[in-house]
Amino acid sequence: MSGTPWILKTFQIDQTGSTGAHLYIEARQPGIFAFILNIIGLDPTAELKVTKGAVSFRSTSLSGMTETSTALTQIGSFQGGYSKPIGLLILAGFFLLAGISADIALDILLFTWFGLVLSIVCLIAYALTKYLSFGFETSGGAYYGMSFKRGVLNNVSVDITQVENALQLVNALIGAASLGGNYSLSDKVQKVASQATIVSAPPVNQMPSVAPSVRPPQTNPHAMGQQAPQQYVNPQQNYQQQPRGPGL
């Protein structure tokens, strides 16, 4: 990994993997000369790519190209984080104390204000400067990665929340691969934007179809056990008496 922080060009998180990589980071070397080479496609760059099956690190320069790819099952650890230039805080305190000491020795107030201005500049630079880093260590102990910062010309910034999301996604992929999950490899990555986070759409929950309920006939609980009264027909009621003839 280069000691000088790279300038971030692309930071893309794809939870779906449809672009060819779940995590894709691209950076270039700092400097105006490297920016001119970037325009014509000859700039030294570094790429960190995480697919569903492997993690690869690729660095190019004017002299050639080097690429290292390791399967997810052979990854010892995937690391990420950020750092800030602590030296700027030391300089801020030094300028302030040096200005006060000079004014005490010379019995004036000029250097105190001058040291105070320099201290404020150092504090502002410390607050605005942040170096992010990503890398992985193989099971054999070799480390590959890079640190990068926001560029003035590229204007691509990444906060610590995106770093944590990327770490959680990669750790989930490593865990799935170690448990024997499916994997896939991809050579090309589709860049959606310089800074993007692609999230899969949640599945639409289909409501189960419910058959219309048939309302059972209501029965009177007080009438249960009671039988309807039966109607008996008297056969004599339907009998018509014929008039008797004489002598009968």
Give 211-222 pLDDT, tens digit per residue: 444 454 555 545
- Alpha-carbon Rg for the chain in angstroms: 41
Q: 61 - beta bridge partners? A: 64
Give the model confidence (pLDDT) of 81-117 as tens digits: 888 889 999 999 999 999 999 988 888 888 899 999 9
Confidence of residue 247 (pLDDT cuts 50, 70, 90): very low
> Strand ranges (DSSP E) for the chain?
6-14, 23-28, 45-50, 54-61, 64-71, 75-83, 131-138, 143-149, 195-198
Q: What percent of the chain has pLDDT over 70?
A: 69
The pLDDT score that the predictor gives to residue 248 is 40
Percent of the chain having pLDDT more than 90?
Answer: 21
- Cα(50)–Cα(188) distance, rounded to whole angstroms? 12
Beta bridge partners of 71: 54
As a whole number of angstroms, the distance between CA 44 and CA 99 comes to 43
pLDDT above 60 (res 187): no
Q: Could you tell me whether strands 131-138 and 6-14 are parallel, antiparallel, or unpaired per DSSP bridges?
A: unpaired
pLDDT for position 188: 60
pLDDT in tens, 108-162: 888 899 999 999 999 999 988 888 889 999 888 889 988 887 765 566 667 788 8
